[in-house]
């Protein structure tokens, strides 16, 4: 692992899945090189594994209380903080009210589970499930916004500090929900890679929400395929330049949202060329 100099204005993070292993072993390997680790809790639902010898067993996917305790100790050992990426197998915008409510409960469960870690933020996806080709799209958008508002209001009312939830920029214009996020006193996770992939301006978004942005997800987008979560050097420099300019004065957390060692190593070397 390339040990970077402590010269960035921001706190540097990466994910808990750089190595194909569980969260704790990843933190053990990465902890001394980063200020923070993004704990990827992408799945929330236990699954059943069939074993012809020992029979079926239920496998839990969320960290156990023992693993949370281990992560606490590693935080002290490495002088490390965490942020939490909330599950993506839930939907706070589903057309089913019961699914939305169950998803809200899952978020609350994960927040409670990870509370001992004192995370800097919990990142939440609000999936956009509207058919853009539907002639009734404007009506559908308002229904979707209604689901967003209802879910975020319920969630925010259950939290002592709603700003610990950061709503991530995804594949739709953030202005669709920006007013709701602000009214619910939540934060914004700017995913720079998503903005590049879908052609949205990071400058306009950051200027509007910069006081509400605790974290920026940073990853490369390969052209012309637009495959994201790649090494930063896969993105043409002129396309990445607006993001780099913002990072030069950003004081929050920048998480290299990558999922293997090679992309992380290449990205660290690339990033260092801009922060000599």
β-pairing verdict for 11-15 and 253-256 = parallel
State the average pLDDT over residues 30-57: 84
Higher pLDDT, 136 or 276: 276
- Among positive and negative, which fits the CA dihedral 211, 214, 216, 217? negative
What tokens does 270 get? 């690339």
**Closest C-alpha among 270, 241, 273, 246 to residue 258:** 270
| pTM of model > 0.75 | yes
The structural domains of the chain, with segments of one domain joined by +, span 11-272
Residue 253 contacts residue 215 (beta carbons within 8 Å): yes
pLDDT at 161: 98
Span of 20-29, 54-63, 169-178 with lowest mean pLDDT: 54-63
CATH numeric code, 11-272: 3.20.20.150
């Amino acid at each position: 692992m390339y040990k970077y100099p402590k010269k960035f204005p921001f706190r540097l993070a990466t994910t808990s899945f750089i190595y194909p292993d569980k969260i704790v072993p990843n933190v053990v390997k990465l902890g001394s090189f980063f200020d923070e680790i993004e704990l990827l809790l992408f799945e929330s639902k236990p699954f059943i594994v069939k074993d012809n010898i020992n029979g079926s067993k239920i496998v839990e996917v969320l960290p156990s209380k023992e693993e949370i305790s281990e992560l606490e100790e590693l935080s002290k050992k490495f002088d490390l903080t965490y942020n939490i990426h909330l599950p993506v197998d839930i939907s706070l915008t589903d057309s089913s009210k019961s699914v939305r409510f169950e998803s809200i409960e899952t978020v609350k469960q994960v927040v409670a589970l990870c509370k001992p870690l004192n995370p800097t933020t919990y990142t939440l996806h609000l999936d956009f499930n509207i058919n853009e080709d539907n002639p009734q799209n404007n009506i559908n958008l308002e229904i979707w916004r209604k689901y967003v508002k209802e879910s975020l209001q319920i969630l925010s009312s259950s939290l002592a500090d709603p700003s610990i939830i950061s709503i991530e920029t995804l594949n739709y214009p953030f202005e669709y929900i920006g007013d709701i996020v602000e009214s619910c006193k939540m934060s914004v996770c700017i995913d720079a890679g998503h903005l590049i992939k879908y052609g949205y301006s990071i400058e306009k978004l950051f200027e509007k929400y910069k006081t509400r942005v605790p974290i920026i997800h940073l990853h490369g987008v390969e052209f012309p395929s637009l495959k994201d979560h790649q090494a930063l050097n896969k993105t043409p420099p002129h396309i990445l330049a607006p993001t780099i300019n913002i990072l030069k004065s950003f004081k929050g957390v920048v998480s290299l949202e990558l999922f293997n060692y090679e992309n992380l190593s290449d990205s660290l070397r690339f990033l260092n060329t801009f922060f000599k």
